[in-house]
Structure 1
């Protein structure tokens, strides 16, 4: 499974003056395709480095097309979700509170075709027909060059194109800062990161009271396909560390890789985090159990298993802080 296509696996923060204790605030209203005014801090045109490419942003984007779901919470936190004119892929309501879920449902859906491995299926013609000026995500079949020729710049989560570099929770702050720069919301971006940082610090304090354990983060393919694990370049590793867990595959420099039953049994993690695209929890667990031999995993026997929507761990977005809280909730409910 390639890094770029994993960006479309579907494996919140909102736009008001202040966030609540859980990291959300009231959403912004507005006409799709009309981004609110910026802070006047960004000089346009602006060049933005992204995944070994350069975006040339001529002005605050007004027609944004979502081809991956993680960007939603950053856009909403900055107050620029009204700029989104369309979406494609899977946007499970389980990621969002009721208000944000309702506003996402109002955004026109171009395609919800996801293959068994979680990859978005959409044509370049359909994307170009929307006349976007900024496209978030780059599924197979689309190219930066082709979209640039049609007047659209492309932004990809850095996590999907940074090879061999260990991930850090600070990557979340960096990602939010990039969006703040693009949409002329640097002050708001700094506020969002400050409040998320406080939540991460609280989570680490909770984790300090728990015994150190091991864990693995897996993505079981639907229908008995390959099983994938996440290594050092994935946000899974620093997220687990903040929850007081050591990733048994942290020695792998890769972000994600196919893992066999033998390697997983040898690692025998205390906790399993199972990422998915919106399947029933029991079905996701059954996908793992269906792999010959994995019933012997200690985590399965102990019930130390957490099925979780993909964006709660990958890529860097405010949702990973929600995912961190979920992991800690599981840990605190397990026997010492």
Structure 2
């Protein structure tokens, strides 16, 4: 039967053309994947963001409360484990044509590859914008949506240029992540560093460690740096964790004395897209909208 099907496909019998494999770029180099796979599982929120923006229907997603803008993309879709621990039994039953992993699921790419073709589409902080563009382009190749992918990345480039203008000559900025009552600062080479690098937004304190998880800081540090702007990401709010909110944490006399506070230039960013789906094309666009609105007030 296999020989017959192959022969008929070679003769061009309608409906029996065999899908060709593609070699595409991923976070860990080139990988071979099926062209236009039918049953697709995505275990990374940035990937779900981009795939949904391209109109790709998913068969499986992680069991997590997503950022509000991704709720529609994940509603009614089968849950196949968590971001960190896939449900291998459910995946084996589903028998997907392609699994898209990355970020928090990056460590399980190898065991996932034993279930189905799996690609690592992790997006890192240091070159986040370039990698976000590259991932969208790869999805465009895989799902025969190259034109739509080019439109998305073109719109991102246009938006970045517009926000660069909005922040130009408005002063420097300090990126803070709050986690309950704790504070971390993030520099240009961190997971949130694209806000500096892509937007040409000067760092208030350029000597911060290049660390994915930021550098622990104090209220005294913030007062000494005295930034023109403070961009705040609330980790607790992003993951739905109970505890002290970012506004309460920063309700402090030392913070209140900074130029940022005195001039009403503390921006509380929508944390879930940034923290959970960092590098997703729509996550990026939403954050850019917030930055432009804040700096244009």
Q: Normalization by structure 1: what TM-score?
A: 0.65
Cα 1:201–1:142 shift into 2, 3 Å: closer
Tell which deviates more after alignment, 250-259 or 145-154.
250-259
Q: Quick check: 2:204–2:227 contact (8 Å CA) kept in 1? A: yes
Cα 1:69–1:123 shift into 2, 3 Å: closer
Q: Aligned pair 1:155/2:120, yes or no?
A: yes
Q: Aligned pair 1:236/2:192, yes or no?
A: yes
Equivalent pairs, count = 268
Offset at 1:121?
Answer: 5.0
Cα 1:45–1:203 shift into 2, 3 Å: same
Q: Which residue of 1 aligns with 2:267?
A: 306
Offset at 1:296?
Answer: 5.0
Q: Which residue of 2 aligns with 1:9?
A: none
Q: Which residue of 1 aligns with 2:285?
A: 321
Between the aligned partners of 2:106 and 2:155, the Cα distance in structure 1 is 38
Q: Quick check: 2:58–2:77 contact (8 Å CA) kept in 1? A: no
Between the aligned partners of 1:217 and 1:239, the Cα distance in structure 2 is 9
Aligned with 2:176 (options 214, 218, 239): 218
Larger radius of gyration: 2
Offset at 1:250?
Answer: 4.9
As a proportion of its length, which structure holds more helix? 2
Q: Which residue of 2 aligns with 1:74?
A: 50
Offset at 1:178?
Answer: 1.9
Offset at 1:147?
Answer: 0.8
Aligned with 1:193 (options 126, 133, 153): 153
Offset at 1:87?
Answer: 3.1
Gaps of 5+ in 1: 1-42, 113-119, 161-165
Aligned with 2:65 (options 62, 66, 90): 90
Cα 1:332–1:127 shift into 2, 3 Å: farther
Aligned with 1:61 (options 12, 29, 37): 37
Between the aligned partners of 2:157 and 2:244, the Cα distance in structure 1 is 33
Q: Which residue of 2 aligns with 1:122?
A: 85
Q: Aligned pair 1:258/2:233, yes or no?
A: no
Q: Normalization by structure 2: what TM-score?
A: 0.73
Cα 1:182–1:328 shift into 2, 3 Å: same
Cα 1:296–1:167 shift into 2, 3 Å: farther
Cα 1:58–1:216 shift into 2, 3 Å: same
Cα 1:281–1:178 shift into 2, 3 Å: farther
Q: Aligned pair 1:283/2:245, yes or no?
A: yes
Offset at 1:154?
Answer: 3.1
Q: Quick check: 2:80–2:91 contact (8 Å CA) kept in 1? A: no
Aligned with 1:48 (options 1, 18, 24): 24
Q: Deviation string for 1:40-91 (max 9, x for gaps)?
A: xxx94233343335432133233332323222331122221x1343333231
Between the aligned partners of 1:229 and 1:310, the Cα distance in structure 2 is 18
Q: Quick check: 1:167–1:234 contact (8 Å CA) kept in 2? A: no
Q: Deviation string for 1:293-318 (max 9, x for gaps)?
A: 65654434544222222434722523
Aligned with 1:248 (options 201, 204, 213): 204
Gaps of 5+ in 2: 1-18
Q: Which has the higher contact order (CA 8 A, sep 6+)?
A: 1
Between the aligned partners of 2:281 and 2:205, the Cα distance in structure 1 is 22
